[in-house]
Each structure stands twice: as structure tokens, then as C-alpha cells.
Structure 1
């Protein structure tokens, strides 16, 4: 396996976890779907691209920070993994306790595609929770014997691509079946439980495996 990728078992777990988190409806999915319902598939795809670019910036920032931290101390890798595991479990508990999103039949006002791109990019890039998520999520699948910067960058780009792919599927579905997706409150409620289970399960797995996960 190349230095910039973790071993196959960790890489497979990363893909599965990323799919589970990306496919369940969250704030970004709700924004993309409602923008599609308001202005059509072009605006939906523009929103997907904007959110992906903003998330990519956060992933790159998290990767650089992790690389610097791990170069200072080998112990930092284990500390970050345990801290990340605790944070993921907390995210799952908070997701379970959060009130379900209220579905609305009122779409957002139409905006020019340039403004859709700008707004989606700025909102995603300046969301500090996204950078914190990447800093907690990526180390769970990194091999401490490999390059921290290369692995975190590769995994960050991989997660963004997976999320963008699932978002495009949501845009396609929203454009095809607008009435059904406007009544997607039940899907968002189910997604809340799936997301919480993914966060908690990943955090427990990491805490149990500790620093041996990549060896």
C-alpha cells in the first residue's frame, strides 16, 4: 500500500464509515435539496460543488494541522485518536438528543448561480465544526507508520469526493421527484438515528482498538 494511504482494512473501514455519514441527510443535504427544489438541478449541482470546495479547504487545513502535531510528538497520535473517539461519541449522543428537523414546503428564494456558488462555499469553508470533524475523523484511519500529511490529505479528499457523489444523487432525486422529497421529514428522522449510530460506533471502535489500529 502506498505511503499516502492506510492499510487495506483501515481504508475499507474509512470508505464504509464515510458512506454511512455522507448518505444520511444532514444540514448540507437539506440545503442542497431545498436549493434544488427552489431552482432546479443546475442550482443543486452548483450547491454540491460549492459545499465540496469549502469542505476540501477544511480538510486541507485539518491535514496540515495534524501533520504538524504528529511531527512534534509520537504520543500526539494516540492522544488525538482518543480525543477524536470521544468527540465522535459525543457527536452521536448530541445527534440523538437533537430535535428532528421540521420539514417545510416553502423553498428558499431563487438566487443567481454565481451567488449560490459563493454562499455555499463561504458557509462550508467558514464552518469551524467541519474542520473539527475532519481533525477527529481522519486520524481514526491513519497508519502511524506512514506520512501523516499525505494520509490525512488523501483521506480528506476521499471523504469530500464520497460526500459529493452522494449529494449529486440527492440532487438527481430531488429534481426527479420534487413532491416526494418535500415530504422527506421521515427520511431525515431516520437519518438522524443512522448518523448517531455511525458516530458512536466509530468512536467506540477507535477507543477499543487504541493506537494499534494502524499496525
Structure 2
């Protein structure tokens, strides 16, 4: 594999990661709802979720999802329902003054698990990796080292991307002072998550 192959993969991955999807919306919503303290837990959950999805794809789960309509549909609905649940919870979250708005409403462990579940259980990611990775593999070279390099590259880029969104959203949250504004932020974040869940539920296998 040449440097040009790796650079092409890195550039394509960076573009795909920058496009807001359910994971990015989750990161933004947690940053808006819980501040910078949630960033580490959220980003760690996203990174581990991407690692799980990529590894599962390389081991063949992605190919199985591509052929098993029942399994694909089940994972799709589980992930979509979970996003909608989180959105409703954030929409109904109580608000108060700045101190109350800044206090974490969830423990980092729960935030980590939520981010991991949403990222790892996204069937679109599993199928995407199966369709995406082979385009950059060199058949004449050993495949295992290439897959490890591509997975490591993607995970680094995904972590940077999630951290950037989290920090930007938490910085915007720092300007909030009034409970009425915090309520709007919670409802916007909740609406984003609900919308992401509805989009995930309506996403068709053929779209990939």
C-alpha cells in the first residue's frame, strides 16, 4: 500500500466524519446539556463504538447485516428508539440558574455507555465500513496490516471530530445565563436527537 492510498482513505474518512449524523448530534446534545465535563465520556464512548463497529465489520458482521434483513431491521429500530428516548429525556430535563444548568445531570459512566451504544448499534456504520474499506485496500498486499492501519486512522480522525464538536458546543453553552435560554437549548438538543432517531428509523439499506 502506498502513501497515496492511505492519504485518500484519510481524506475520505475526514469528509464523511464531518457530516453530522446521529453520533455527532448525540455529542452536540450532551455538550449542550451537560457542558465540557461530558466531552471526555462522550468522545470515549464514540471512539469505542466506532472501534466495535469497524472490528465487527472486518470480522464479517457487516456482511451478515447486508444480507439479513431481519437482523438489520432489529438493530436499526433499537438504535432509533434509543435516540428518540434520549431526545425526549433531554427535552423534559429540568432547568434552573447557571449553576443548575452547569451541574451534570448524568454520571460520566452513563454518558459513556449511551455514546457507545448509539455508535456501536448503528447498522449503517457496520454496512458502511464493509462498502467503504475495500475501495482502499490493495489486493496484492497483505490485508491485515492495511486493515489495522485504516482502522487506527479512522479512529483517530473520529475522536478528533467528536472532540471538536463537543468543545464547540460546550463553548456555546458557556454563554447561557438564563433558565429560559437553557430550556431552549435542551429542547433544541432533544429535537436533534429525536430527529436523528427518526432519520435512522427511515434509513433504507439501499441508501448506502
**TM-score over 0.5 for the alignment?**
yes
Cα distance in 2 for partners of 1:126, 1:166 equals 19
| Aligned with residue 29 of structure 2, among 23, 31, 34 | 34
Instruction: State the distance in 1 between where 2:124 and 2:15 align.
Output: 19
Shift, 1:44, TM fit: 2.4
Residues 1:115 and 2:110 are matched in the alignment: yes
Provide TM-score, normalisation by structure 1: 0.59
In 1, the alpha carbon distance for the partners of 2:23 and 2:149 equals 22
Q: Which residue in 2 is equivalent to 1:155?
A: 150
Residue 16 (structure 2) aligned to one of 3, 6, 21: 21
The CA distance in 1 between the partners of 2:44 and 2:155, in whole Å, is: 10
2:123 and 2:8 map into 1 onto residues whose CA distance is: 25
Aligned residues: 145
- Give the direction of change, closer, same or farther, for the CA distance of 1:147–1:63 in structure 2 (3 Å limit): farther
In structure 2, what is the equivalent of residue 136 of structure 1?
Answer: 131
Gaps of 5+ in 2: 67-86, 94-104, 177-184, 192-206
Q: 1:58 aligns with which of 28, 49, 53?
A: 53
Partner in structure 2 of residue 175 of structure 1: 170
2:46/2:162 contact within 8 Å kept: no
* Structure 1 spans left out of the alignment, 5+ residues: 1-5, 67-82, 84-103, 186-199, 204-215
Secondary structure at the counterpart of residue 13 of structure 2 = helix
CA RMSD of superposed structures (Å): 3.1
Question: Residues 9 and 136 of structure 2 are in contact (CA less than 8 Å); yes or no, is this contact kept in structure 1?
Answer: yes
Q: What is the deviation of 1:128?
A: 2.2
Q: How many angstroms apart in 2 are the aligned matches of 1:151 and 1:174?
A: 34
Q: Indicate if the aligned counterparts of 2:23 and 2:118 stay in contact, CA closer than 8 A.
A: no
1:45 and 2:40 matched: yes
